[in-house]
A and B are shown apart, each in its own frame.
Chain A
Amino acid sequence: MKAKLIRDMDVSPGVTPKEWITVVNGKEVCAAGLVFEHPEAYYQVLQGNAEAVDEECKARVSRVRTPLQLESARIASDELLASMQSDGETEEDQDEED
């Protein structure tokens, strides 16, 4: 799963592979433009720190919940609740009529 950094990122000592590291102004960083491969690369894409560069990463990003998806789920939930309430009111009206 590949992604490309769009901004410099801090190195995690002992974790970041050495080949990812460059020195910018005396500081070790993963520099913008670095294409890196990692099973969790999609997290950096979702964080807005990288862009997906292979289909696997794009597909993984698309499967993760986005704010828009959550909003759609909330609207669907509200509609369902409203329809349940209106059904309940209709039944009560019928009970009163009876």
Chain B
Amino acid sequence: MAKIIGKGTIFKSTIAAMLTAVAQVNSISSSGFASQTFEGTSLDSGVGKEKPLTGYAEPGTVDIELFFDPSLAGHQFYTDSIVVPVSIAHSITYTDSTVTTFTTTGMDFGHTVAMDDGVKATISFTITGLPTFPT
């Protein structure tokens, strides 16, 4: 049991078939990784509504925010990957050296230029299949 820190976590994406660290990432978050259920309640059910499993899992999305540098190859790779859509394998390496891996297909890129902040980009990746968490 340990409380691992966020500082030093590495987000990597597969660039030219090798996992490559992406620079200037300042946050990583995921959501929507969920086992899927369906509404199984019928008129003759008991009081508690029934939510049987479908047998599928929603892989969800991963969002990263980074200080955007348009001249950085690792950042250009993302915008280029929207122009020429490709699936990308990624990993998140935590500071205790454990790793989460996942493959994404869709990507949503946006960036912000604000007077009182650095230029930032947010990228949302749509995961396909199942992410692999340490077990």
Q: A12-B89, A66-B71, A70-B70 are in contact. Are A44 and B16 (CB under 8 A)?
A: yes
| Contact between A47 and B19, CB atoms less than 8 A apart | no
- Residue A10 contacts which of B16, B18, B70, B77 (CB distance < 8 angstroms)? B18
Q: Which residue of A lies closest to B93 (CB)?
A: A10
Q: In the docked arrangement, what's the CA distance between A49 and B20, Å?
A: 9
Give chain B nearest CB distance to A76 CB in angstroms.
Answer: 16
Q: A13-B89, A14-B89 are in contact. Are A46 and B73 (CB under 8 A)?
A: yes
Q: In the docked arrangement, what's the CA distance between A14 and B103, Å?
A: 10
Give chain A nearest CB distance to B110 CB in angstroms.
Answer: 20
Contact flags (1/0) for A9-47 with B, using CB distance below 8 Å? 111111111001000000000100000101011111011
| Contact between A64 and B18, CB atoms less than 8 A apart | no
Which residues of B line the A interface, CB within 8 A? 12, 14-20, 70-71, 73-74, 76-77, 89, 91, 101
